[in-house]
Amino acid sequence: MQTGRICNACKQEIQRDILDQNYSICPQCGYYMRMHARKRILSLADKKSFREWDANMKLSNPLNDSEYALKAVETAVKHKLNDAIITGEMNMEGSHVAIGVMDTRYMMASMGHVVGERVARLFEKAAEKKLPVIMFCCSGGARMQEGIISLMQMEKTAAAVRKHSEAGLLYISVLTNPTMGGVTASFAMLADIVLAEKGARIGFAGARVIEQNTGETLPDDFQTAEFQLEHGFVDDVISRAGLREYLSKVLKFHMNRGWYTGHHKSWGVNTVESDPNDLDAWETVLKARSRERPTSLDYVNQIFDDFMEFHGDKVWADDHAVVGGIASIYGKAVTVIGQQKGKNSMNEAVYRNWGMPSPSGYRKALRLMKQAEKFKRPVICFVDTVGAACGIEAEQQGQGYVIANVLRETSAIKVPMLSIIHGEGGSGGALAFGVANEVWMLENAVYSVLTPEGYASILWKDNARADKAAELMKMTSKDLKGLRVVDKVFQEPEDLNHTNMGELCLQIREAITLFLKRNEKKTEKSILQERYKRFREF
Ligand SMILES: [Zn+2]
């Protein structure tokens, strides 16, 4: 008689075959039970495509601990596992990948020599074969029975990840429950895209140790996947059932030299007749600020196919005033980044901090730009902010330095960059998204060194004269085209909003396609020179 597994959350006994059909998710309460390595591989690999690497590695027992040697043999026999990780290569929906999957049944998937060696070889061999790596992590940390030798595995694996990355290859890690200690502090966190399974516990020091050390009571969500997302360390939290599809999609974005083979949007739009506007500068400012205007995400979703959002700055937080990720346009993969205002409710406006990015937002943007550079994807930025976040915390985190750093670094990003100002373009906070080979603007957007209210207040100590300031500041698309601050202006339909933006988006889509074509054959050197020259002229 087959016995089931007991769910950790609801304590019900679940039949194994039912669990196997349900990705080891408890059908009673939805709890993600730990998934055994071979089952994980079976759930992802195309039929019979998995080939194991380094299967017969012998246990290293560097401290000659006889108790450890005995326990290792017993564990291996009991679970049919030769140490805590399985590595190899396989196909997944046609994409050829190298894969590593850890298994907590073997000494809590702690990392000793065999785990470290298999991980290092996985990345070395993948680099040789030019394969992306997918790593499923779970671990209690370093393997104590191997002492200092287990500590050395952290650096060994981190260095192997770097070598693989320097070959321009993709690494995706999926952090599962639990990923702790030396594995978190080495290869697990070093992926280009770090994903976490819903509810997984992820951290460096264990919660109990932290409580003992600090005497503080920790919040319930401490070190959960969701906590890590909010604090900027994982790109996204994903559900197990949709994982194969999700990973396949990410892989497709990174294969075929950036030509995405996924789904393409079909286009049907109503043409909206529009005449050039005769608004004065202040009226344009009010229009640019209108809550009816589409947001960056509206444009991203309308113009591109298959947008995948990634989160976090890998330092402190995920700033919701900045959104970014990968998308495609007529099959060409690009990185898109935008400043995002909330528009439907006060809650959303607060959540997005009125579209004013914090240092975390600029760090996230720069991280995504550098990733685009690694994978040779053009970058397209959408500008819509009254300015960078203004407050104590922003200053404590060096808002000025962070923006300066983006300006410096974006001058050297070796892929074509395009910036589209579609709403408000205020100050250095906007410019940080505006260092591009070409800068475009919508007819009723504005772009200026600060708000007209701020200008009037500084120069005349009277912010009621903002309308006069707006006129003087030359902040409309017409003025800026004349000053050659922007290269191209798109005419808008009357009272632009998300219901009448179709024709405009189609025009932008076509123009982006031409921009990509214009830049396709250029060398990295000439892309950089052109961008440098564009701003050097002012
Ligand atoms: Zn359950």
DSSP codes of every residue in 243-268: HHHHHHHHHHHTSGGGB--S------
Q: Check: CB of residue 76 under 8 Å from CB of residue 50.
A: no
Distance (Å) from CA 16 to ligand 1 centroid = 13
How does pLDDT run along the chain (538 residues), one tens digit per residue?
A: 568 999 999 999 999 999 999 999 999 999 999 999 999 999 999 999 999 999 999 999 999 999 999 999 999 999 999 999 999 999 999 899 999 999 999 999 999 999 999 999 999 999 999 999 999 999 999 999 999 999 999 999 999 999 999 999 999 999 999 999 999 999 999 999 999 999 999 999 999 999 999 999 999 999 999 999 999 999 999 999 999 999 999 999 998 666 666 656 655 554 444 556 688 999 999 999 999 999 999 999 999 999 999 999 999 999 999 999 999 999 999 999 999 999 878 999 999 999 999 999 999 999 999 999 999 999 999 999 999 999 999 999 999 999 999 999 999 999 999 999 999 999 999 999 999 999 999 999 999 999 999 999 999 999 889 999 999 999 999 999 999 999 999 999 999 999 999 999 999 999 999 999 999 999 999 999 999 999 999 9
E strand residue ranges, 394-523: 417-426, 438-442, 446-448, 488-490
Question: What is the rounded distance in angstroms from the CA atom of residue 238 to the CA atom of residue 523?
Answer: 38
Q: 3-class DSSP state for residue 105?
A: coil
Instruction: Report cis status (omega within 30 of 0) of the bond before 178.
Output: yes
Distance (Å) from CA 1 to ligand 1 centroid = 22
DSSP codes of every residue in 262-285: S------------------HHHHH
Query: Residue 196: enclosing H or E segment and its boundaries?
Result: strand 193-197
Query: Residue 135: enclosing H or E segment and its boundaries?
Result: strand 133-139
Q: Looking at residue 39, what is its pLDDT?
A: 95
Query: Residue 400: enclosing H or E segment and its boundaries?
Result: helix 399-410
Distance (Å) from CA 235 to ligand 1 centroid = 27
Distance (Å) from CA 205 to ligand 1 centroid = 27
Looking at residue 63, its amino acid is L
Distance (Å) from CA 27 to ligand 1 centroid = 7
Distance (Å) from CA 9 to ligand 1 centroid = 5
What residues are neighbours of ligand 1 (ion), with CB under 5 Å? Answer: 7, 9-10, 26, 28-29, 31
Distance (Å) from CA 104 to ligand 1 centroid = 19
Q: Check: CB of residue 531 under 8 Å from CB of residue 437.
A: yes
E strand residue ranges, 292-408: 305-309, 322-329, 332-339, 379-385
Q: Looking at residue 270, what is its pLDDT?
A: 47
**Do 281-536 and 35-254 fall under one CATH topology?**
yes
Distance (Å) from CA 209 to ligand 1 centroid = 27
Q: Which residues contact 254 (CB under 8 A, 6 or more apart)?
A: 132, 170, 333, 375
Q: How many CA atoms lie within 13 A of 282 on its CB side?
A: 12
Report the relative pairing of strands 488-490 and 438-442 from DSSP bridges: parallel
Distance (Å) from CA 74 to ligand 1 centroid = 29
Distance (Å) from CA 199 to ligand 1 centroid = 13
Q: Looking at residue 272, what is its pLDDT?
A: 47
Which residue's structure tokens are 């997005």? 352
Distance (Å) from CA 19 to ligand 1 centroid = 11
- Residue 93 tokens read as 């929906």
Evaluated on CA atoms 449, 501, 319, 314, the torsion sign reads negative
Residue of 225, 111, 222 whose CA lies nearest to 173: 225
Distance (Å) from CA 141 to ligand 1 centroid = 26
Distance (Å) from CA 198 to ligand 1 centroid = 14
Distance (Å) from CA 270 to ligand 1 centroid = 50
Distance (Å) from CA 7 to ligand 1 centroid = 5
Distance (Å) from CA 12 to ligand 1 centroid = 6
Phi, psi (deg, nearest 5) at residue 149: -65, -35
Distance (Å) from CA 18 to ligand 1 centroid = 13
Distance (Å) from CA 218 to ligand 1 centroid = 24
Distance (Å) from CA 22 to ligand 1 centroid = 12
Which residue's structure tokens are 């640019």? 288
Distance (Å) from CA 202 to ligand 1 centroid = 21
Distance (Å) from CA 237 to ligand 1 centroid = 20
Domain definitions of the chain by residue range = 1-33, 35-254, 281-536
Distance (Å) from CA 107 to ligand 1 centroid = 24
Evaluated on CA atoms 109, 77, 48, 89, the torsion sign reads positive
Looking at the DSSP assignment, which residues form a beta bridge with residue 476? 446
Looking at domain 281-536, what is its CATH homologous superfamily?
2-enoyl-CoA Hydratase; Chain A, domain 1 (3.90.226.10)
Q: Which fold would CATH assign to domain 35-254?
A: 2-enoyl-CoA Hydratase; Chain A, domain 1 (3.90.226)
Looking at the DSSP assignment, which residues form a beta bridge with residue 324? 337
Evaluated on CA atoms 348, 250, 372, 364, the torsion sign reads positive
Distance (Å) from CA 387 to ligand 1 centroid = 47
Distance (Å) from CA 33 to ligand 1 centroid = 8
Distance (Å) from CA 2 to ligand 1 centroid = 19
Q: Check: CB of residue 115 under 8 Å from CB of residue 84.
A: yes
Residue of 333, 329, 284, 308 whose CA lies nearest to 466: 284
Dihedral, 72, 78, 79, 80 alpha carbons, nearest 10: 80
